[in-house]
């Protein structure tokens, strides 16, 4: 399947869902789409849903370079950028720990992990029902190329 995203403007949230095998190339494609999408603006909370990842292939150096570009593209100049990973499975938790290490020390980035919808609701200060609906929302996927689906 790949990766897809959806912007929830009313929540100030960029929701990204990975499905199946995750790799650095997918993340690069996602970055390109963000640049072409006027809804993807600096300051959005970035929620990475890793709950459906079955395997990952990570190029650590390429990922570090991507993180620098993502931070430059998505962080609001006047405040910290909130990056939140949803990792309810053993595999997703392990992968997220690696991401935590890679994000560590990046100025202006608040990295958080949540292993349940309840934790997500608490961190995002949203009702649990809204978070559960968000986690089930429609996102289009196509051959590893992410596509956006407007949340309007």
Mean pLDDT over all residues of the chain? 87
The pLDDT of 97-118, averaged and rounded, is: 89
pLDDT at 25: 80
pLDDT at res. 88: 96
The region of weakest confidence among 21-25, 56-60, 93-97, 141-145 is 141-145
SS (H, E, C) the chain: CEEEEEEEHHHCEEEEEEEEEEEHHHHHHHHHHHHHCCCCCCCCEEEEEEEEEEEEECCHHHHHHHHHHHHHHHCCCCCCEEEEEECCCHHHHHHHHHHHHHHCCCCCEEEEEECCHHHHHHHHCCCHHHHHHHHCCCCCEECCEECECCCC
For 56-102, the pLDDT digits (tens) are 887 888 888 888 899 999 999 999 999 999 999 998 988 888 888 88
> pTM for this structure?
0.88
The CATH classification number of 2-146 equals 3.30.750.24
For the chain, domain boundaries? 2-146
């Amino acid at each position: 399947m790949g990766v897809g995203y959806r912007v929830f403007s009313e929540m100030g949230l960029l929701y990204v869902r990975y499905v199946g095998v995750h790799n650095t190339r997918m993340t690069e494609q996602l970055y390109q789409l963000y640049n072409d999408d006027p809804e993807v603006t600096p300051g959005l909370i970035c929620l990475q849903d890793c709950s459906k990842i079955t395997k990952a292939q990570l190029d650590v150096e390429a990922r570090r370079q991507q993180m620098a570009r993502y931070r430059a593209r998505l962080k609001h100049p006047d405040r910290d950028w909130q990056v939140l990973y949803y990792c309810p499975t053993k595999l997703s938790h392990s992968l997220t720990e690696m991401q935590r290490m890679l994000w560590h020390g990046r100025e202006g980035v608040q990295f958080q992990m949540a292993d349940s919808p309840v934790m997500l609701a608490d961190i995002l200060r949203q009702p649990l029902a809204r978070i559960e609906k968000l986690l089930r929302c429609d996102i289009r996927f196509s051959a590893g190329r992410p596509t956006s689906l407007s949340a309007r």
